């Protein structure tokens, strides 16, 4: 399903993990993760593609890819964490399209979808070597569930949460 949204140059696609539109997301994430955390890009890619695709499928999850002029430029996914909570995964912006607000745009699209699915909370973790992601989540109103005074590498995965409310038919976020 493809949907035209508020930024007319962007299109949001709900896709399966095996969809060709998701391929750039998975490939770049594999390179990014291997460069920050070790292992080969091939090992990371295998880990990403071996993850159960059903986790990101309706009714409990989704994988969104944002395109501009037909090119995948950003994306992200969520899966069910528990009956009240969705877990964000694989938030990505193409290396060539960073610093344009696309990460925040993806978060907004995922949050709207999550509210429509009836979840009341979002949970996520990001790695200790991803300060850009930490900054994005804090700027977007997520609460850090760790002590930010502790050095990042001592914390390990950095957990965050955001509580949601359904204030109108459009699924506005509190």
Neighbours of 67 (CB within 10 A): 18
Q: Which two tokens stand for residue 111?
A: 């949050």
30 vs 122, higher pLDDT: 122
Check whether 3 has a pLDDT greater than 70.
no
Q: Tens of pLDDT along 59-79? A: 999 999 999 999 999 999 999
Tell me which of 3.40.50.720, 3.40.50.2000, 3.40.630.30, 3.40.50.10470 is the CATH number of domain 2-163: 3.40.630.30
Q: Is the pLDDT confidence value at 152 over 60?
A: yes
User: Given its phi and psi angles, is residue 118 left (phi above 0), alpha (psi -120 to 50 degrees) or beta?
Assistant: left
pLDDT above 90 (res 115): yes
Residue 161 CB: number of other CB atoms within 10 A?
15
Q: 173 pLDDT band (50/70/90 cuts)?
A: very low
CA dihedral 139, 142, 148, 151 (to 10 degrees): -80
Checking if the pLDDT of 30 tops 60, the result is: yes
Q: Report which DSSP code applies to 133.
A: H
Interval 13-25: pLDDT, tens: 999 999 999 999 9
Model confidence at 167, pLDDT cuts 50, 70, 90, reads low
| Whole-angstrom distance, CA of residue 118 vs CA of residue 84 | 8
Domain map (residue ranges) of the chain: 2-163
């Amino acid at each position: 399903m493809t949907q035209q949204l508020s930024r007319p140059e962007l299109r949001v696609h709900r896709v399966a993990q095996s969809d060709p539109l998701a391929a750039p997301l998975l490939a770049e994430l594999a390179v990014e993760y291997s460069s920050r955390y070790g292992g080969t890009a091939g090992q990371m890619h295998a880990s990403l593609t071996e993850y159960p695709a059903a986790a990101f499928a309706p009714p409990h999850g989704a994988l969104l890819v944002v395109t501009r002029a037909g090119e995948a430029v950003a994306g992200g996914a969520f899966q069910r964490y528990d009956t009240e909570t969705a877990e964000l995964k694989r938030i990505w912006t193409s290396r060539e399209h960073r610093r344009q607000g696309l990460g925040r745009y993806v978060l907004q699209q995922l949050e709207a979808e999550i509210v429509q699915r009836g979840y009341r909370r979002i949970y996520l973790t990001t790695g200790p070597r991803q300060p850009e992601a930490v900054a994005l989540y804090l700027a977007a109103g997520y609460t850090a569930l760790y002590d930010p005074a502790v050095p990042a590498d001592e914390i390990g995965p950095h957990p965050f949460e955001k509580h949601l409310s359904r204030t109108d038919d459009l699924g506005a976020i509190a």
